[in-house]
Amino acid sequence: MAKRSVWGSKTGFLLAAIGSAVGLGNIWRFGYMAYENGGGAFLIPYAVALLLAGIPLMILEYALGHREKASPPLAFARVSRKWETIGWWMPVVAFFGITLFYAAVIGWCMNYFVFSFTQAWGADTSTFFMDTFLQVSDSPFNLGGIRWPILAGTALTWLISWAICYREINHGIEKASMVFMPLLVVLTLVLVGWSLQLEGAWAAVKEHYLTARWEKINPFTADGSKVWVAAFGQIFFTLSLGFGIMITYASYLPKKTDIVGNALITSVLNCLYSFITGFAVFGTIGFMAASKGVPFDEAIISGPGLAFVVYPEAINQLPAGQTLFGLLFFLVLIMAGLSSAISLVEAFCCSLIDKFSFSRKKTVTAVCLLGFFGSVIFTTRAGLWILDIVDHFVNNFGLVTGGIVECLLVGWVLKAAVARRHVDQAGGLKLFRIWDVLVRFVTPAILIIVVGFALYSEFSGNYGGYSTKALLIFGVGWLVAALVLSVILMRYPWDSKRLTHEHEPEEDHLIV
């Protein structure tokens, strides 16, 4: 059995982990959520969510991956063979449910990077995005043919992901992260600085981003409780938890490592990045609203529309530097997107390599080819609708399910105390016993509530106004297909040597 690769440095690991967590959602989702849910007051439930769910789960995933030196399927199988299906569910649903459309969205960013040279989106940025660029069809079932510029950008995304993941972790992803992440930070800080000096920017930041509307976060009201649920959901998704990525990345750590310290750094810096990018978002939109003489409330939107409609419109209003500002913004999106995409590819590839003993180069090549062809549907004229449905179901039900099961596996089957002893023996910061309570009771209970709210909203009306047929095929169907594939992969027998992993005597499994 080939020796497992190890990260070349702690910095390389942290940059890769943070790069995985920092994605497009940090830029176009966090600021809008804060605006909708109490402004500066939203930071309170967000911080509580980070402490009660984000950091405990991050430590859990790092501990499991490091202890078993394995990808999610093998790690879960070593704890209990009966749980292996969920170990497959995480990378499978993340790869087929997120990576396929994520590559297409990065392809959009690449196209808009080119458009920035001439502001090709014109004066009506919304019509350009929907009708000229995407050429959106009237339904998810009307594919309407492929948009070739989007396909080209998607192909380039997969090519870059292949080139980085093709090499061993310490030569591929680590070296790429050492370039991507410092560049992303510098570009983001430049973008923030530039945005804040625009006319009307700082006033918008103070009024709509930093001003605390405390009544919004009262947990004893119906609206306030929704804000708290939203905060916990945002923390879970923004940290790449439930994807299988952090388990995979931690499996490449050396025997002696600071698991708690690494988890704290990854979690806090990711959330800090979200907070900092909020200044650029609010500053730019504030400038645009002031320039056009429209209320801020009418200017701000969340999701892809922020990046591809609002920002280009704001760029049009700049008195100078339009091209440079556009290039800067879309380069930030591309860097953030690629750092997340390669981690999703790595988690799935590592799982296949662990199970079938395939070579890394052949596995990465085959997976990236499969991924490219799978992404084609998102480059059609119906791609936006299918993307929206898949993203909704995967994020609300697919990934959170993995998080709940992780807590049950480590908290009750492996035993939280065993995992905690392993963390303490690995070195660095010690883990308090309160962590046992969090991963066994508090965190899974919170995630179940998040799923409960998602289910409630699902039954209260069709998401996005889509037909029931579309939601069943592209939403529920996507999750069912991922589950079937997970069961099929689980049924293939392991090499018995792979299921055996030596631990220190005091770390033996305590199966119940």
Please give the single-letter amino acid code of residue 63.
Answer: A
**124-133 pLDDT, tens digit each:** 999 999 999 9
Whether 255 and 423 have beta carbons less than 8 Å apart is answered as no
pLDDT (0 to 100) of residue 304: 87
Count CB neighbours of 433 within 10 A.
10
pLDDT at 87 (0 to 100): 95
What CA–CA distance (Å, rounded) separates 123 from 117?
Answer: 15
**Complete DSSP assignment for 428-439:** SSPPPTHHHHII
d(CA 273, CA 294): 29
Q: CA triplet 134, 382, 243: central angle to 5 degrees?
A: 100
Count CB neighbours of 366 within 10 A: 13
What residues contact residue 491 under an 8 Å CB cut-off, 6+ apart?
none
Does pTM top 0.85 for this prediction?
Answer: yes
**pLDDT given at position 505:** 47
Q: Check: CB of residue 302 under 8 Å from CB of residue 234.
A: no
Q: What residue spans define the domains of the chain?
A: 10-493
- Residue-wise pLDDT tens digits, 390-444: 999 998 899 899 899 999 999 999 999 999 999 999 999 999 999 999 999 999 9
CB 227 within 8 A of CB 45: yes
How far is residue 148 from each of residues 154, 373, 378, measured CA to CA in Å? 10, 14, 11
d(CA 387, CA 378): 7
* Spans of the chain below 50 pLDDT: 505-512
Q: Cβ distance 334 to 106 under 8 Å?
A: yes
> What confidence score (pLDDT) does residue 496 get?
77
Yes or no: domain 10-493 corresponds to CATH 2.30.30: no
pLDDT recorded at residue 329:
96
304's tokens? 């892809």
Q: If we measure between CA atoms, which residue out of 324, 247, 188 comes closest to residue 62?
A: 247
Strand partners, 39: 212
